[in-house]
Structure 1
């Protein structure tokens, strides 16, 4: 049957072969075995159930947590000629009844439903006699109470399976499962260990970077400005930060959207649609955004603050480069973020055991920011993958060749000021004392009489504040307190004051533009957008950036050559081939004409 699967892969999706792990998972499912697949984000999890669904009789049910994902997947499947539908809260009762009837008559091959539907006795009774051959559970980590996104509704899945008249194969899929979560998934769904396939957690096309001790607002403004033509996501931990970054982008003319739980459903959907349809280039969002977003051409993900755990970070960062092209994942770290995440954990209504577990995960996330070892290998080790001896060669730890300057004397001045002011104040007061500010509070506290008053008067407040951030990121200064953080000198910082340790500061990380796409790519991208607007689907549903780049490389002259392009199946060749070939030929004619004129 695997030969049939490979034929359908080419026919529908235009791919010549399966990615790592897909073939083994599909073979297992077609052999009738309950299966678990743990593949990285962008690793092609959906193919693992879409291909079997086309081969097996009856219908395949996909349990998926987000409405946006369902719609994107159904749009994509319809585009390639696979009949699919979804059932969720966006439909009327009549629409749901019509879709159930069509499913009963085996009109659809794939039906998406939300896990919350399974909490309804009436819905379970409706579907229990459907001709179901496969149940695929997406984001399967939600079934585990040890996971970072546990959903009680997922606990209803296995009881439903036992009620069904048919005996469907079960396929659980996720990108973020630690060893304990993997064990929990398999135990809950009665999947044996030999039927669990883990392909590894390395995303070879992603470049992970941690930026410490730099002004975050300046960094994201310059970064986004350097990459105006690319799609990206900026994550922030609070609604307030999301709103501020969004307004900053608007003022500087960046086409941006925003997404957080404080917005209405209408506002969120509007901004999300603009982003999916390439009408805005940047989405500024809280962690409420993105789970299941299938947009393949996100070229960068910036985290304005430290996420609460590695699972959340890897899932959010993994929204970059789903098409396999080189993309960047940059975390802008300040140790104060740890205090913010501690506060958010404390505010959460969870038992003490769970709270302690979350605090341990937060510390592991902080360790990722402090490590000088390979970031990609740290991630793989976190998820239980056997440690590699080699480095990835792409992350900020592996590629850091910046020169370092000795700033020990300046560090001693700042550390001394923190101690002389009683370790009772934040960055603002310390900076004012060091610059010799005539601020009223500085005078009232008689800090103008300290030996450190004005000792750095030749520096700006902003540069000293950034230097304090650097010393904090080097763990020479600690931060305590909640809403109004207070600075103190750590034991490591005291070693510097005593002259037992030097402080070296590397130059700022330089912001570079992502790869330029070229004139033909931009013409093909414009056509893709035109078609997407005609058909009311996101551009990446028409073709991915990878496919457009392949067109630029091979420049097909006829439909047979067009079909050879990776990502072009029979259905898309028939629908779009002539239009894309026409753009390519016009480009080549103009290019040849300009060369002739030059000669």
Structure 2
């Protein structure tokens, strides 16, 4: 069966071999076993269920959370010659019925729906009469209340599957899940003896950077100016920030878009389409944007504010470099971000248990922002993955080549102050005492009489607070949970106070950033041709060929049909539909004559031999 799967991959998708992790998932499904796949964004989750779907009799049902995600997937499959469709709220009743009839008649191999569709008794009855060999569930973390995007409608998936006359194989996928959420997914979706495959959270092509103390608006303006030829996403925590950044960049003449829940459906749809088609190069958005945006050539993701948790951050950052090309993920952090996220948590109507969990996740995100350790390893450790080496060499911590500075004395002053305050107060209060503040609250508690009062008066209070956060991140201190956490000492702090353990810190220098190198002439010509064809076909450019495919074309400059088909991402159907104009451009670039150029690029339908047209 795996040989047949490879044949599908090569002839339909144009790739010579599966990515790491895909083989075990596809094998498990083809052997008829439930599967839970946890793969990083851009890791190729869709191929893991699409390839088995093409090898199974009947229609595979794909449950997907967003309309835009369904449309993108179906458009991409259509470009590959794979019959697929979706049913969602954008369709009229007549269109829904036509597509249902088509599914009953075996016209489609994949049918995409939103989980809310399962609430319709009529739809459930139609599904019971359909041959469903496989049900694939995307963004499966939405079923868990401990996940970062809990969606109540996902809870109805297991009862639906249970009601079918013949139980299909169930495949669930997500990009980010802790061990707790993974167990929750398997339980709530009633996965039967599922194979659980965690295929590595590391994205080696992403350069992770944390910048503290930057003038955020100035930084954004300069960065976008230096990367005008590259698509990027800037995430902000609030609509207000999105609107202000949008106006800032538009006034500077940049092709910018905006996306948040305050826009109308038409406005959001227009902005999203413009970004997908490369009419807009930079999108400024809240976290309402991104899930299901299968744009492979996003070269940078900047977080204007710290996200609420690690799952949200890594999913959003992971939208950069889905094509495997080098990309940047930059987080602009300030202490105000902590207050913003706490406010947003308090605004949500959450149970006390869930609210406590949100504060716990937020503290992990704060620790990440202050950590001097390898950022990639911090993320891998959070998701329960073993770090393979001490440093990644490709994050702002690993690239910080400054000598470490001994701050043992400063740490001892901080620990002593916290102990003398009986470990009952938060960061700002401790920093105020160390600074020597004579605010009313400090005088009321008589903290001005402590030996540690004013012992760090030479430093700004903000800098003292940041140093405390670094010590928390490094495991010397901990914060209690809740909206108003207090600082407490951990065992390593006692060793520091006793003079048995030194403490070091690197003082970060401002990174020197240069504009990315301009893409070569042939690559730009290929992109221009792709854009012209995309406009005629009314599809996003990446549907025709991904940036990574065009880059390989520009590097290898294939001038024959066989050589062209060996380029990753050039399958049989894609070559038949789009290949010839690119081949002619490459021949011209290589100085070859069009005379005698190969035979017709068409491929007989029976060469695919997968039981669909």
- TM-score interval (norm. to shorter): 0.7 to 0.9
1:354 aligned partner: 354
The correspondence of residues 250-329 of structure 1 with structure 2, limited to 5 A, is: 250-329=250-329
Q: SS of 2:180's equivalent?
A: helix
Deviation at 1:386, TM superposition (A): 2.2
Deviation at 1:574, TM superposition (A): 1.3
Deviation at 1:22, TM superposition (A): 0.9
1:548 aligned partner: 550
Cα-Cα RMSD: 3.1
The correspondence of residues 333-352 of structure 1 with structure 2, limited to 5 A, is: 333-352=333-352
Aligned-partner Cα distance in 1 for 2:283–2:469: 35
Deviation at 1:189, TM superposition (A): 2.5
Aligned-partner Cα distance in 2 for 1:155–1:417: 50
Aligned-partner Cα distance in 2 for 1:25–1:501: 45
Aligned-partner Cα distance in 1 for 2:534–2:15: 21
Aligned-partner Cα distance in 1 for 2:249–2:372: 32
Cα 1:324–1:421 change in 2 (3 A) is same
1:182 aligned partner: 182
Residue 527 of structure 2 is aligned to residue 525 of structure 1? yes
1:29 aligned partner: 29
Cα 1:15–1:424 change in 2 (3 A) is farther
1:11 aligned partner: 11
2:210 aligned partner: 210
Deviations 1:151-188 (A, max 9, x none): 11001111111122332110001111100111111112
- Alignment equivalent of 1:586, drawn from 582, 585, 588: 588
1:224 aligned partner: 224
1:572 aligned partner: 574
Q: SS of 2:569's equivalent?
A: coil
TM-score normalised to structure 1 length: 0.84
Deviation at 1:126, TM superposition (A): 2.4
Cα 1:423–1:98 change in 2 (3 A) is farther
The correspondence of residues 67-466 of structure 1 with structure 2, limited to 5 A, is: 67-191=67-191, 195-401=195-401, 422=438
Deviation at 1:123, TM superposition (A): 2.0
2:59–2:108: 8 Å Cα contact kept in structure 1? Answer: yes
Aligned-partner Cα distance in 2 for 1:166–1:105: 19
Aligned-partner Cα distance in 1 for 2:71–2:361: 33
Deviations 1:419-448 (A, max 9, x none): 6775699xxxxxxxxxxxxxxxxxxxxxxx
**Structure 2 portions without partners, runs of 5+:** 408-430, 442-457, 472-487, 494-501, 593-613
Deviations 1:49-107 (A, max 9, x none): 11011100010000000111111110110001100000011100000000000000110
Aligned-partner Cα distance in 1 for 2:433–2:505: 17
1:34–1:171: 8 Å Cα contact kept in structure 2? Answer: yes
Deviation at 1:561, TM superposition (A): 1.1
Aligned-partner Cα distance in 2 for 1:144–1:255: 38
Aligned-partner Cα distance in 1 for 2:338–2:571: 48
Cα 1:470–1:71 change in 2 (3 A) is farther
Deviation at 1:121, TM superposition (A): 2.1
1:320–1:327: 8 Å Cα contact kept in structure 2? Answer: yes
Cα 1:132–1:370 change in 2 (3 A) is same
Deviations 1:6-59 (A, max 9, x none): 000000110000011111111111111111111111000000111011100010
Aligned-partner Cα distance in 2 for 1:422–1:304: 34
Deviations 1:493-512 (A, max 9, x none): xxxxxxx9999743312223
Aligned-partner Cα distance in 1 for 2:384–2:470: 33
2:35–2:170: 8 Å Cα contact kept in structure 1? Answer: yes
1:213–1:469: 8 Å Cα contact kept in structure 2? Answer: no
1:538 aligned partner: 540
Deviations 1:214-273 (A, max 9, x none): 111111111111111000000000000000111110111110000001111111111111
Deviation at 1:475, TM superposition (A): 4.2
Number of residue pairs aligned between Structure 1 and Structure 2: 534
Cα 1:423–1:129 change in 2 (3 A) is farther
Deviation at 1:515, TM superposition (A): 4.3
Q: SS of 1:266's equivalent?
A: helix
Deviations 1:443-482 (A, max 9, x none): xxxxxxxxxxxxx9xxxxxxx9xx987665444899xxxx
Aligned-partner Cα distance in 2 for 1:513–1:547: 23
Deviations 1:487-541 (A, max 9, x none): xxx999xxxxxxx999974331222323432111110000111111111111111
2:427 aligned partner: none
**Structure 1 portions without partners, runs of 5+:** 408-414, 426-455, 457-463, 479-489, 493-499, 591-599
1:255–1:282: 8 Å Cα contact kept in structure 2? Answer: yes
2:34–2:193: 8 Å Cα contact kept in structure 1? Answer: no
Q: SS of 2:278's equivalent?
A: coil
1:516 aligned partner: 518
Deviation at 1:568, TM superposition (A): 0.2
Q: SS of 2:220's equivalent?
A: helix
Q: SS of 2:360's equivalent?
A: helix
2:259–2:271: 8 Å Cα contact kept in structure 1? Answer: yes
1:129–1:166: 8 Å Cα contact kept in structure 2? Answer: no
Q: SS of 2:591's equivalent?
A: helix
1:233–1:302: 8 Å Cα contact kept in structure 2? Answer: yes
Aligned-partner Cα distance in 1 for 2:551–2:466: 40
